[in-house]
Amino acid sequence: MRFPLLLVVTCLLGTTLTLDNGLMRTPPMGWLAWERFRCDIDCKDDPQNCISENLFRDMADRLSEDGWRELGYVYVNIDDCWSSMNRDEHGRLQADPMRFPGGIKKLAGYMHDRGLKLGIYGDMGTHTCGGYPGTPLDKIEIDAETFAEWEVDMFKYDGCYSNATEKEKGYPLMSKALNATGRQIGYSCSWPAYQGGLPPKVNYAMLGEICNLWRNYVDIQDSWGSVLAIVDWFFGNQDVLIPAAGPGRWNDPDMLIVGDFGLSLDQSRSQMALWAIMAAPLFMSNDLRTISSSARNILQNKMVIIINQDPLGIQGRRILQEKSKIEVFWRPLSNNNSALVFFSRRTDMPYRYQTSLGKLNYTMGSYRITDAFTYKTLTLKDTTNFVVSVNPTGVVMWFTAWMMVVKASMARPAPLPRTWWIFWAAGLTAAEYR
């Protein structure tokens, strides 16, 4: 199987409009409480891990002091179980007074003082998934105004305890209400996950006009099986999902679980690399206070983050599935670069996979290769066979730069790589392409 470049052109020609709030032009990055801390509200017996302002302050301190913020991890996102069980006398949501005695606005200020942003959670239904007060249709405007008054920077809108008709009305209404507040609030929609994630039930063109990112599939769990299931679904449906994504509008395969309990070192690298290829939001859900140095190194890998944050915003695809259980993924990047991932589904031993860039549909020429995890470099011609050794359930990830070569005897410039069609389809001039 050779990479069908025409599909990339089609993606660009068929892109949807984007939510007009100017936010999240590259995939958002940060920390999210849910997978690691769930709905732990036992602050009496588990004060270090319960959902409270102390937990989010602790994570903010780590993001701002341990090198995360400078790499782009700026959101600190509250998930379910933060609120009181009752609205206040004015009908407004309020934080649980025991666990958040300072209130959400003060917590937002704590984030902003450290160069970070605060995200918060709500639900379309009468109740959140955890049983707390929801934001049904008649509460959308007041809750949007409340979040803006609290100086919240991102809002995740879940869909428990609501029906399809309510979702169809509520998700666009919340987008309109958030924009009407005058505050820039990134908007995460869980709508597609409740509709099965695929057309005709999911209208991705419309989602791109109302949401900055959206959950497409089931919640991630702390296991390799869960990561694989998400990878299989996203790349199995890549022809539908790739055109939906782009600057300001992202498919969200859910949280990074690197640094928790369920992944090996190789599997952790695999999740990070594949999320980068997918142009996925990078929201860690782990304990930054106790994270291991090996997990930190993976999550703070600058080259993988550069690939994830590429401003073109084109979601990558799986281009090969070999009988050897090696799979190859490719993503086009800015400045005529690209990313390659060689991923092993084997569980027995490292596999030596042989191929060439030409066989992977790269155009004629020489390429500067940098291994994203070892930072070793080499130069390869498209015709040169090479071997990569891929560990079981592991990856090799390459940043690939095309090296323009012009022969002195030639009156015309060297041929553009096949990816020039991407830029042509996007309407870029030759000067902009160069």
Which residues are marked as active site?
Answer: 158, 219
Which of 168, 122, 160 has its CA nearest to residue 144?
Answer: 122
Return the structure tokens found at 124.
């379309």
Q: In what order do the strands lie in the sheet with 29-32?
A: 250-252, 213-215, 186-189, 154-158, 117-123, 75-77, 29-32, 282-284
Hey, how many other C-beta atoms are within 10 angstroms of the C-beta on 225? 9
Which of 376, 420, 365, 415 has its CA nearest to residue 398?
Answer: 376
Quote the DSSP letter at residue 333: -
Q: What is the residue whose two structure tokens read 């300072």?
A: 102
Report the amino acid identity of residue 241: L
Q: How far is 252 from 2, CA to CA, in rounded Å?
A: 27
Q: How far is 18 from 37, CA to CA, in rounded Å?
A: 33
What three-state secondary structure class fits 48?
A: coil
Return the structure tokens found at 348.
């027995």
Q: How far is 248 from 315, CA to CA, in rounded Å?
A: 13
Hey, how many other C-beta atoms are within 10 angstroms of the C-beta on 282? 24
